[in-house]
Amino acid sequence: MDIELKSNLKKIADTIRSLSIEAIEKAKSGHPGLPLGCAELAAYLYGVALNHYPKNSTWLNRDRFVLSAGHGSMLLYSALHLSGFNLSIEEIKRFRQLHAKTPGHPEAYVTEGVEATTGPLGHGIGNAVGMAIGQKILKEKFNNEKYNLFNSKIYCLAGDGCMMEGAASEASSLAAHLCLDNLILIYDSNKITLDGPLCESTSEDTKARYRAYGWDVFEIDGHDLDAIDAVFSEVKQRQERPTLIVANTIIGKGSPHKAGTHKVHGSPLGEDEVKATKQALNLPEDKFYVAQSVYDYFNRKLEKEKKIEENWNEMFSTWANENPSLFEEFKKMQNKTLPVDLEDDLKKIEMKNPIASRETSGICINYLADVLPFLYSGSADLSSSDKSFINKFKQISHDNFKGRNIKYGVREFAMGTISNGLALFDFFIPIAATFLVFSDYMRNAIRLASLTKLQVIYQFTHDSIFLGEDGPTHQAVEQIASLRAMPNLHVIRPCDSNEVKMAWLASLNYKGPSALILSRQSLANLDVTNISYEKGLSKGAYIIKKENKKADFTIFASGSEVSLALEVAKSLTKMDKDVRVVSVPSFELFDKQPKEYKDSILKGDLGKKVSVEAACDCGREKFIGLDGISISVDSFGISAPIEDLKEVFGFTVDAILQRLI
């Protein structure tokens, strides 16, 4: 490495260390170990390796860096500030403070230059795999012999904790299967976890594990800039597979009394130790000091990066002029443009009657894939059962990224994290499909999608005990309520084909995650739900049978139980009872309605309020109050045919009438 460059990178690394420990100490909160230990790696990435333009953080062909070990966020914030992103020194000083752009763990869309919301360990690796898949799709779709538009790399920094999490293993296995030659995973191997030495919990050979997956593996001293440069240069020039770079580092490097121990992982150093660390590393005593030479280095780099971006923009413009049809598809994917008449077109799709809502959704997916080039579907080894496969297109494979289906294998958690990465890549709305009961495997990934408001659509099928003979291990009971408890997640349980179609319209229009809760068993199509999106499903809850004068009963139902509620209402009417029936496909959409509308559904002379849903009794008091009657499932299921289950759990007209009369 050039002597002058090496000197500059050392200054950058020292500045990252200084800013990081000072911000953490000022906040009296944070994780100084990783920023102290990985400073050379960050200095090299932001000072040399990354092909991006910080003044335009959304440049389309930028290299992306994901900090999977999100607890080390000050490493990232320091690097972003120094390299020219819109992150001021004042925000560095406000680390972990209210409404700061420097939250405790990195959050996409909060801090410019942060590519993914990370913190729960292992997630960032899955996000990076998703981004790498997204980049490969764009490369195959839009590059040609004349124009190499998309050739960026995805870099990810992970720690010992990330490498132990199962999600990382699942994602890494799939990355090798797809031969992602644009993915570089840096393993900060400091052999320390929060609780103590790594050897107390792990004795595996991680390098051998990754070689077995099918990765190329390198090992370096993570503090040696020459070694770092040599390996990264080689990988960048000749990468053929996903690459793991094991960087041996000292956690808390420079801290005289805490370096190399778990004491430096998750707590501030303390004023005395900060001072001692600065002395040991020969850092300036002034707080939040950045040498002008460091800013000058990055300013010179910015000029080069600006020119690279300008040249790329010129090439892209020429490509667009020469390839108008491809450019039109590119714009549709980038803007996620929906056809103006999509509601009418969905309504025109013919469905058999009765039909399982999973099948209806599968038909909708196949129709939508033809008109929405950004819709990509994936399933955790269940596409033939959850009906998520796009039949017109092949599956993505190591030698074909023109497909529109991703077979994740039995890797639900990885599917969740990878789908988040695809959504973060901005050109895709990914579908992630499995049985509802298995949403538990991917719950934390769904949570981060909800936190970040990523537009991922989950197709969760086999939605209740009524899947039948597979029994309680597969019969969902508590999952719907669990998902409804998650902020920003739209949970939609449609009752028939009409509501399924409008559920897709709702999901495509919502800039956040949606979970479609779908049946295995066939459901009758109802005339009363064949209304406009605006009058029906968009409301979250709407009247499908109105009382004549004053209701004796108001029945709230969702999904497969709506038709049952109507049958109960018919029997009650024969007993001279006045009944209102309300379909409740989505609590979240209902909550967003004006007070006047909600009052029209919930208040007035409604008689006895009843809820009918084949799931646990949790959350429905907002509709029926504390005195209402809840027809629900508050134990685990039983392995039996569906008709027997209806009898045992009280989901028949006679059983419900006995509860009401």
- Convert the pLDDT of each residue in 139-163 to its tens digit: 999 999 999 999 999 999 999 999 9
Q: Which residues, listed in sequence order, are joined to residue 608 by a DSSP beta bridge?
A: 553
Q: Do 614 and 649 touch, CB atoms closer than 8 A?
A: yes
Q: Do 68 and 115 touch, CB atoms closer than 8 A?
A: no
Give the Cα separation of 553 and 612 in Å (integer): 12
Beta strands at 608-612 and 629-631: parallel, antiparallel or unpaired: parallel
Give the Cα separation of 96 and 105 in Å (integer): 9
Give the Cα separation of 356 and 586 in Å (integer): 19
Q: Which residues, listed in sequence order, are joined to residue 377 by a DSSP beta bridge?
A: 405, 431
pLDDT tens per residue across span 295-334:
999 999 999 999 999 999 999 999 999 999 999 999 999 9
Q: Class for domain 540-660, per CATH?
A: alpha beta
| Section 547-567 average pLDDT | 97
Q: Which two tokens stand for residue 281?
A: 């590393």
Q: What is the pLDDT of residue 115?
A: 98
Assign 3 a pLDDT band (cuts: 50, 70, 90).
very high
Give the Cα separation of 253 and 283 in Å (integer): 13
Q: Is 576 helix (H, G, I), strand (E, B) or coil?
A: coil
| Section 118-144 average pLDDT | 98
Q: Do 355 and 387 touch, CB atoms closer than 8 A?
A: no
Q: What is the pLDDT of residue 242?
A: 98
Q: Which fold has domain 3-305?
A: Rossmann fold (3.40.50)
CB atoms within 10 A of CB 250: 18
CATH match of 342-529 with 3.40.50.970: yes
pLDDT tens per residue across span 497-536:
999 999 999 999 999 999 999 999 999 999 999 999 999 9
pLDDT tens per residue across span 611-634:
999 999 999 999 999 999 999 999
Residue range(s) in the chain whose domain bears CATH number 3.40.50.920: 540-660
Largest Cα span, the chain: 93
Q: Which residues contact 300 (CB under 8 A, 6 or more apart)?
A: none
Q: What is the pLDDT of residue 373?
A: 98
DSSP character for 397? B
Q: Give the mean pLDDT of the chain.
A: 98
Cis bond leading into 268, ω under 30°?
no
| Active site residue ranges | 412
Q: Do 38 and 157 touch, CB atoms closer than 8 A?
A: yes
Q: Which two tokens stand for residue 335?
A: 């803007």
Q: Where are the alpha helices (DSSP H) in 143-283?
A: 160-164, 166-177, 206-213, 225-238, 271-281
Give the Cα separation of 482 and 461 in Å (integer): 16
Give the Cα separation of 544 and 512 in Å (integer): 28
pLDDT tens per residue across span 71-119:
999 999 999 999 999 999 999 999 999 999 999 999 999 999 999 999 9
Residue range(s) in the chain whose domain bears CATH number 3.40.50.970: 3-305, 342-529
pTM equals 0.98
Helices vs. strands in the chain: H and E counts, helices first: 26, 20
Percentage of the chain exceeding pLDDT 90: 100
Give the Cα separation of 164 and 177 in Å (integer): 20
Assign 2 a pLDDT band (cuts: 50, 70, 90).
very high
Percentage of the chain exceeding pLDDT 70: 100
Q: Is 536 helix (H, G, I), strand (E, B) or coil?
A: coil
Listed residue (581, 519, 524) closest to 552, CA to CA: 581
Q: Which two tokens stand for residue 271?
A: 């004023």
